[in-house]
Amino acid sequence: MKLMETLSVQKAKQVLKDNSNLENDEQIKMVKELVFHENTEIAVTALKILGKLKDKENVNFYLSIINGEYEEKVRKEAVSVLGRMRDYNIAVNYLLNLLDDRNPEIVLQAIRGLLVFKSKTEITDTLKQLINHKNEIVRDIIEKEFFPNSFDFDTKKDHSIVKKEYMNKIINGDALKILRSVENNSIHLTFTSPPYYNARDYSIYSSYEEYLDFLEEVFSEVYRVTKDGRFLIVNTSPIIIPRVGRKYSSKRYPIPYDLHGRLVKQGWEFIDDIIWVKPEASVKNRIGGFQQFRKPLMYKPNAVTEQLMVYRKKSNRLIDWNIRAYEDEVVEASKVLTDFETTNVWEIDPVYDKVHSAVFPKKLCDNVVKYYSMKGDLVFDPFAGSGTLAKSALSLERKVFMTEISKEYFERIMENLSDYAMELEFLDEETFLQGGK
């Protein structure tokens, strides 16, 4: 084994630091030897230094690393070195062959090197075939580079605009029917808590599958009407259906987990899971039986959490594009200057309403509205409940668009939003669908 390969990590780092400029053949030789160091960090750093040379005479050296039994991070960096040479012959002769590598990270590095030459028909045609690659990140990159028309984009000009047809409208009616009348790319933020499966407040579904099918249909429409790259936040938690008799067990349905896969298939990109924690005294006691008898297998903890699952509408554009679509004054005015949550665990006390059995705390709504929208944006809730989200959004200088199927809850919303009555229109479903006439 060569001397450079046996150096301690500390000494190897010093050698790399002292020879990072590669001013002569001796320095190049030492750095090349360190590519074979047993420490992955040393090997990768050595390759990064060698990559500055863009030395096409050493292509076979890099290929020996790529094709050898080395750490995947080392192989990946060797591919990156080949890509940074920006040589068409290398791209065709070597990088194209790496698209079949077993490691998707290697494939991604090869794609990066090949995209420099995407004006070349030979390379473009081959890359386009990766739209069916088994790795989802590879597929995403190819879709964004070569199939952008599969997305329904806003223009930067209208991204911040709120259409007057939906501005500050509170509608008593079926969310799905109303959503089907809404134009594409109309809503900036949706925050909602869907009705729990077969809860007494709402419709009874013939099965759990039918319930999920209904939510899937609603959120598919929400996807269509959401502006490019903007957010959907869904507040749910597992629920318990009581047992029908002592000889039967109760059943618990994991709504957030069963719904998640359906949303992702629609195109929603999962961003975060936020855990809303409530005081233990405010939730139903499930631990009592275990607490009394302490028998194994009887353990059922008190459920003090709900989940806010954060999704973003699929986009070729990064968040920066969404922000730049606004005037600087709007961005500055929308900054979160007060206290904010620093983790994904939010401890917020629940609240109770004389009409609605499960209402949002205003603090929860304030957090979501401040973190995921700009002033002037349109905030939507298809299951508006008692209207807490609307009150929060209006107080934070956003516009609102709300639907609620229950007449009783709709009247409660009108009562709760009485301070904003001059800014709002309260409509029934038929009137809204006829254009407000």
On whether both 133 and 214 belong to a single domain, the answer is no
Q: How many residues does the chain have?
A: 437
pLDDT of residue 1: 47
On whether both 180 and 134 belong to a single domain, the answer is no
Domain count, the chain: 2
pLDDT digits (tens, 9 = 90+) for 370-385: 999 999 999 999 999 9
Is 161 among the domain residues? no
Is 253 among the domain residues? yes
pLDDT of residue 317: 86
pLDDT of residue 382: 97
384: phi then psi, degrees, rounded to nearest 5: -70, -20
> What is the token pair recorded at 326?
């606004």
Is 155 among the domain residues? no
CATH number at residue 247: 3.40.50.150
The Cα–Cα gap between 41 and 37 comes to 9
The Cα–Cα gap between 337 and 329 comes to 15
CATH number at residue 69: 1.25.10.10
* Three-class HEC string of 217-267: HHHHHHHHHEEEEEEEEEEECCEEECCCCCCCCCEEECHHHHHHHHHHHHC
On whether both 318 and 354 belong to a single domain, the answer is yes
Q: Which residue has the tokens 């501005």?
A: 167
On whether both 269 and 351 belong to a single domain, the answer is yes
The Cα–Cα gap between 133 and 141 comes to 11
Is 158 among the domain residues? no
pLDDT of residue 131: 95
Q: Is the Cβ–Cβ distance between 83 and 116 less than 8 Å?
A: yes
- Parent domain of 416: 169-433
Which residues of the chain, if any, have pLDDT below 70? 1-5, 149-157, 199-203, 353-358, 436-437
298: phi then psi, degrees, rounded to nearest 5: -95, -5
- Name 156's Cβ contacts closer than 8 Å, sequence gap at least 6: 321, 324, 325
> What is the token pair recorded at 222?
């929400």
On whether both 302 and 366 belong to a single domain, the answer is yes
Q: Which residue has the tokens 């896969």?
A: 261
